[in-house]
Amino acid sequence: MLKTVRKGEWFHIIVPKEWEGTTVEEIFRQVWEAPKKLTHHFRTENKVLVNGSRINWNLPLTPGTTLQIQLFEDEDPQVIPYYYDIDILFEDDHVLVINKPPFMNTHPNNPLKDSNTLINAAAFYLQSKGEIRNIRQIHRLDQNTTGTILFAKHALAGAILDKMLEKRDIKRTYIAAVHGLLRQKKGTINKPIGRDRHHPTKRRVSPTGQEAITHYQLLKDDKNKQLSYMKCWLETGRTHQIRVHLSHLGHPIVGDTLYGGQPVILRQALHAAKLEFSHPMTKEKLVCHAPIIGQLDIFKNIDVYSI
């Protein structure tokens, strides 16, 4: 874990031993894997200093010196701030993890008109604290799915987390209640997912679709109600992935009428219970658990903190 501190608009990192001989250019492009355009912006705008002075980006760093990066300037928000009392699971100067409520979209379809989404609520929350930021969504959840969602507060954290998500270094674990009793207590569904040409929003397992991998494990079952409670974790993030895969397995999610579930509850019984990732700037290992929200009694006997 890196030694860091914020001072006003600047983020200070004490250069660690493992960065000895590494240049600032290499930190941005190889360690953080930041995009060329963003790296160019930090370099040309003089947003990186060492011990308070401008530096040659191609000279090696010395352990113990202070790398200073201007990360915390005000930005014009790209969405309309919208008041909603959000449930914060983790927050610092760089990232924000929210427990998403049901019946709410993650982001607006039209940023200039729509406002009642989670990212709009996050923008309002930050503004109310005096943080004028263009908050960045790292991944998403379906409208009727609850649980952990990760946001970045500035462009560099956003770029690092985007790359981590692409490399499958962010682990998302869900719980689901499904119809039927599982024959296999755990397994992996490796089936590509594509659009359903007969339905505008539905997806389906398709040989011409995109790679999709879902792992699952049984938590408990209810033989009287013929229900199974399982945890699932993803290697890919396709639209409706868990819903499609579990339906294909023959165990549609309770309440998920789009994919064969029975409407015994008001929405699909799917909750993003745990998020695990390394902090983009400090490398601290973070684990966020999301309590069940939205009066979803079907999960009342599941302890999300044991997932």
Please report, for the chain, how many H helices and E strands are present, in that order.
Answer: 5, 16
Query: Is residue 141 pLDDT above 70, yes or no?
Result: yes
Query: How many whole angstroms separate alpha carbon 259 and alpha carbon 271?
Result: 16
What are φ and ψ of residue 281, in 5° steps? -105, -30
pLDDT of residue 294: 74
Q: What is the largest CA-CA distance in the chain?
A: 70
Nearest one of 158, 164, 165, 163 to 71, comparing CA atoms: 158
Partners of 146 in the beta sheet? 271
Homologous superfamily (CATH) of 172-272 is Pseudouridine synthase (3.30.2350.10)
What are φ and ψ of residue 193, in 5° steps? -120, 135
Query: How many whole angstroms separate alpha carbon 19 and alpha carbon 121?
Result: 38
Residues 252-301: tens digit of each pLDDT: 999 999 999 999 999 999 999 999 999 999 999 999 999 998 767 889 88
Nearest one of 170, 146, 210, 156 to 42, comparing CA atoms: 156
pLDDT of residue 295: 67
Predicted model pTM: 0.94
Which of 74, 93, 142, 196 is flagged as catalytic? Answer: 142
CATH architecture type of domain 4-70: Roll (3.10)
Known catalytic residue at 142: yes
Tokens of 246: 């579990």
**CA–CA distances in Å: residue 120 to residues 77, 126, 131, 145:** 9, 10, 14, 18
Question: Residue ranges of the domains in the chain?
Answer: 4-70, 172-272
Residues 172-216: tens digit of each pLDDT: 999 999 999 999 999 999 999 999 999 999 999 999 999 999 999
